[in-house]
Structure formats: structure tokens, C-alpha cells
Amino acid sequence: MGDAVAVFPSALPTHRSNDTEHEYRQDSDFFFLSGFEEPHSVFVLAPAHPVTKSILFLRRRDSERERWDGPRTGVEGAGPRYEVDAAYGIEELDERLPELLATSDKLYYAFADNEAFNHRIVRELKRYHDERARTDRGPIAVADPSSIIHELRVKKSPEDVAALRRAVRISGEGHMAAMRYSRPGMYEYEIEAIVEYTFARLGAQAVAYPSIVAGGPNATILHYNKNREAVPDGSLVLIDAGAEADYFCGDITRTWPISGKFSAEQQAVYEVVLEAQRRAIAMCRPGTRVSRTVELKGTNGKVNGTFHAAAVKAVVEGLLDLGLLSGSFEENIERQLYHRFFMHGTGHWLGMDTHDVGSYRADGDWRPLEPGMVVTVEPGIYIPQDSSVDERFRGIGIRIEDDVLITENGCDVLSADTPKTIAEIEALIAQGRAGATPLIA
Ligand code: GLY
Ligand code: MN
Ligand code: MN
């Protein structure tokens, strides 16, 4: 960022209902840069300032408020703990921000949802604009710092990987608890409780996103998270749930039979998704591009070498074998006929945000995977309850999602301990049912 000045406001608290806010979660970029978790704070980087190059504005200590809301770091605690050159009360921002902005003619600021803060920045820019002829000070260029910060976040440091491993391990334990302790007749919310109890018990601070616990045909609704229904007898339950631990997110999906045994049709579709995922994970290595387009090259069934294309190819082959798609392989690819059953991408960056930041493109093309990047690999097949499809398969929804670290030579599946073959899943459910005590009686 050279000698620019950069200003980052903390995440806004968000209203839930009267007198009640959603649990506060710091903005990921703000936390990545400052390590500071409290709301009503602003982090400034001013490398051209002679003394204070990193500054944190934060709430002062207030014994009365702290009795209600808990301890604050306060100005005295911030310098040593967060390694900033200066810490000031947030009420000093109006007074001090102009001087900090004047240290450079370039300001990095991301105009975003924080309208009040956007206005504050615009007000300062206008003041400098009006006074420029006499002062020759202040920013004349404003740039969004997001792409610079997000590029720093897209390749994970060894510390990031350690935190991610922990989040993914806890996430996997939640899925395994659900397999062990669920029973036929349970409601989706009861299984959700098993998953999220396990996350919390193992130290996760939050769920990374609202857990999806979808029984039977609810699994064909991609963002189903009401989780209010009983899991129908004989059906599959799709759980897409991840724990957040120390600002890193797990994102795992498993799909399994509430009875403990896959039916022949469930098994047939499951094996297609599993094979698609296996082939996509085999593509996870440095150099593979993250393209979401599927290009057919030639007419011999070869598609471009991306992990999404590998998954799509396997899904199309499998759906043709099952008779759920008809016609030629090429036609299904070229006309995207598989979208009826597989309508989302095969993965996304994973990190401090579940759909982590960072560009998927570089130099005018989809970018290649590099060591340190982390992607999810999550193909799925969702068969509508539609009279035009074979009745035996209607309402089956299956997704299998793992979290994959790209390494020098290939990849490391961080969620590999969470069972996903049919034999492993059925064995774990059977083991859970052989135990006498359900987790929550
Ligand atoms: N759980 C969100 C996703 O899989 O992308
Ligand atoms: Mn995902
Ligand atoms: Mn997911």
C-alpha cells in the first residue's frame, strides 16, 4: 500500500429483535489485520506518519457499561496487547482522523454496508477537496483495499492452516455425533442440536453458517435450513454444517440414511456423487484451474481439466447410467442438461469466511490452484419430485462436501476423518445404535 493511509471500521452490531442483537462477530478483514474483536472500533494504518503508523480507536473502559456487557480492552490495554503504535478512545476519531488522512494523498477505504462510516469518509474527503488550494494536503485518490487484503487471505499461513484444521476437525465430530446419536423418528432440529451441541462442547465459538439438516426431499432444496420436520422413515438426511473456531470455518456435508442402511436407489445415486467427488479431489493440485465452466473438447467425452468439470463429467456419466438423463454425453454437457440435477459449482475458497474471499481469476483467466489455498469439494445430485423422473429416485438429494488444502504435490483432505463411503457410514451408524444411550435422551 506504499505510503497510503488505510481506514477500517469494525463490523456493525446487527439488530435481531427489540433490545436484542445478533451475537457480535468481527469483520474478517478487520480481524485479520488487527486481531481485535470489539465493536465500535476503527483500525488505521498510516505508514507515512512519523510516529503512529498503526492506530486503534476503541471504546474506553467504563465500569458501569462493563457490568452489563463485559470487560473492554480500553485504551490502556490496547497498545501492548494488539501491538499498535497508538490507541485512542473512539470518541476522538472525528478530531484525529483528519490528521491521519493528511499523511498521504491516497486513501484505502472499502465503501460497504456501514453507511454512517461511508458518510464520515465522504465528509472528510470533501473538506480536503474544498481546502486543497490553500493546504495542498489530504487524499486525492481513494482505492478499495479489499482485493489486496483478500489476496493475502487466499493462501493460508501455517497458523491459518492449524486453525482451519481445528475448525474442520470439530465440524467432522459434529457430523459423526449426528450419525451415532440420531434415531429413526427424530426431527431435523433434534439432529441439528446434536451437531451444534458437539461443536460447542469442543470449543467452537459459533456455527460458520446456519446448519442445514434436511430430511428426505428437503435435501433437494439447496439452502433449506428451517430444520423443523421429522426425517421421513426410510429417507436420507443431508447435513451441511460447519463449526467456526477462532475465526476459521469448517464446511462439511454428509448424507446418510436415517434407518442406518442405504436403499438400492439411494446407494446408486450416492455412489455417483461419491465418484464425482473422488475425481474432483484427484484434480486438487497446484496448476488445476478453478474454472466453473465445463468445456467439451472433441467428441470423445473429454472435458477440460478442472475440478468442477471432473465432477460434472462423473455426474453426467452416472445419471446416464441410471437413466435419469438420456441422450449423448456430449449433448448433456454442451446443453448443460445436468443442471436439472446438479446446479451449483463444485467448490469455493474456505477460510475465515465460509465462502472465503479472494479472486477466482488472474491474468484474464480462471486462476490455477497453488499450495496453501483451501477449497471445498462438494458435488451433489438433487432429484426433483417431478412426475417426469423415475419414481424410485424422486426426492433424493445427496451432497458430499470436504475441505481440501492444496499442497506442493497434491492436496490434503482436512475432513478425511469424517466417514463418507457407504460401508464407513453404515458401520458408524450401527455402532452408535448398538450403544444403549442416546446423546440426548
Ligand atoms: N455451506 C455452504 C456451502 O456449502 O457452500
Ligand atoms: Mn461449501
Ligand atoms: Mn456446505
Instruction: Say which CATH number the domain at 15 has.
Output: 3.40.350.10
Residues 374 and 404 occupy one common structural domain? yes
Domain CATH number, residue 177: 3.90.230.10
Q: How far is the CA of 162 from the centre of ligand 2 (A)?
A: 19
Q: How far is the CA of 61 from the centre of ligand 3 (A)?
A: 40
**Of residues 380, 316, 389, 391, the one with CA closest to residue 343:** 380
Has 49 been annotated as catalytic? no
Has 378 been annotated as catalytic? yes
pLDDT tens per residue across span 396-422: 999 999 999 999 999 999 999 999 999
Ligand 1, CB cutoff 6 Å, lining residues: 209, 240, 251, 348, 354, 378, 401
- Among 114, 144, 174, the domain-final residue is 144
Has 229 been annotated as catalytic? no
Has 223 been annotated as catalytic? yes
From 221, 342, 376, the mutation candidate for ligand 1 (largest count of ligand atoms within 8 A of CB) is 376
Residues 136 and 161 occupy one common structural domain? no
Has 22 been annotated as catalytic? no
For the CA of 241, the closest atom of ligand 1 is: 1
Q: CA 418 to CA 265: how far, in whole Å?
A: 23
- Among 144, 165, 198, the domain-final residue is 144
Residue 371's contacts (CB-CB under 8 Å, 6 or more residues apart) are 155, 286, 406, 407, 408
Residues 287 and 185 occupy one common structural domain? yes
Residues 378 and 403 occupy one common structural domain? yes
Residues 211 and 357 occupy one common structural domain? yes
Q: Which residues pair with 141 in a beta bridge?
A: 106
Structural domain includes residue 305: yes
Residues 367 and 223 occupy one common structural domain? yes
Q: Which residues surround ligand 3, an ion (CB under 5 A)?
A: 240, 251, 401
What per-residue confidence (pLDDT) applies to 292? Answer: 87
372: buried, middle or exposed (CB in 10 Å: 19+, 13-18, 0-12)?
middle
Structural domain includes residue 409: yes
- Tell me the residue range of the domain where 116 lies: 5-144
Has 240 been annotated as catalytic? yes
Structural domain includes residue 441: no
The pTM for the full model equals 0.96
Residues 255 and 348 occupy one common structural domain? yes
- Among 122, 144, 166, the domain-final residue is 144
DSSP assignment of 262-329: --HHHHHHHHHHHHHHHHHHHT-STT-B------EETTTTEE-SSHHHHHHHHHHHHHHHHTSS-S-H
Question: Contact 311/303 with Cβ under 8 angstroms?
Answer: no
For the CA of 348, the closest atom of ligand 1 is: 5
Residue 264's contacts (CB-CB under 8 Å, 6 or more residues apart) are none
Ligand lying nearest the CA atom of residue 208: 1
What per-residue confidence (pLDDT) applies to 298? Answer: 45
Q: How far is the CA of 400 from the centre of ligand 2 (A)?
A: 10
Domain count, the chain: 2
Q: CA 401 to CA 307: how far, in whole Å?
A: 13
Q: CA 211 to CA 254: how far, in whole Å?
A: 12
Has 424 been annotated as catalytic? no
Residues 92 and 164 occupy one common structural domain? no
Q: How far is the CA of 117 from the centre of ligand 1 (A)?
A: 31
3-state helix, strand, coil in the chain (%, to 5): 40, 20, 45
What per-residue confidence (pLDDT) applies to 299? Answer: 40
Radius of gyration of the chain (CA): 25
Structural domain includes residue 285: yes
Q: How far is the CA of 219 from the centre of ligand 2 (A)?
A: 15
Residues 165 and 295 occupy one common structural domain? yes
Structural domain includes residue 56: yes
Residue nearest to atom 4 of ligand 1 (CA): 251
Question: Contact 194/227 with Cβ under 8 angstroms?
Answer: no
Residues 168 and 34 occupy one common structural domain? no
Residue nearest to atom 3 of ligand 1 (CA): 251
Can you read off the three cell numbers belonging to residue 422?
457407504
User: What is the mean pLDDT, run by run of 10 residues, along the chain of 441 residues?
Assistant: 88 97 97 98 97 97 97 94 96 96 96 95 95 91 97 98 98 98 96 98 98 98 97 97 98 98 98 98 95 72 81 97 97 96 97 98 94 98 95 98 98 98 98 79 50
- Catalytic option among 192, 196, 382, 403: 382
What per-residue confidence (pLDDT) applies to 154? Answer: 98
- Catalytic option among 105, 401, 402, 403: 401
Residues 208 and 347 occupy one common structural domain? yes
pLDDT tens per residue across span 139-167: 999 999 999 999 999 999 999 999 999 99
For the CA of 401, the closest atom of ligand 1 is: 4
Residues 193 and 284 occupy one common structural domain? yes
- Catalytic option among 251, 317, 353, 402: 251
Structural domain includes residue 385: yes
From 213, 222, 251, 399, the mutation candidate for ligand 1 (largest count of ligand atoms within 8 A of CB) is 251
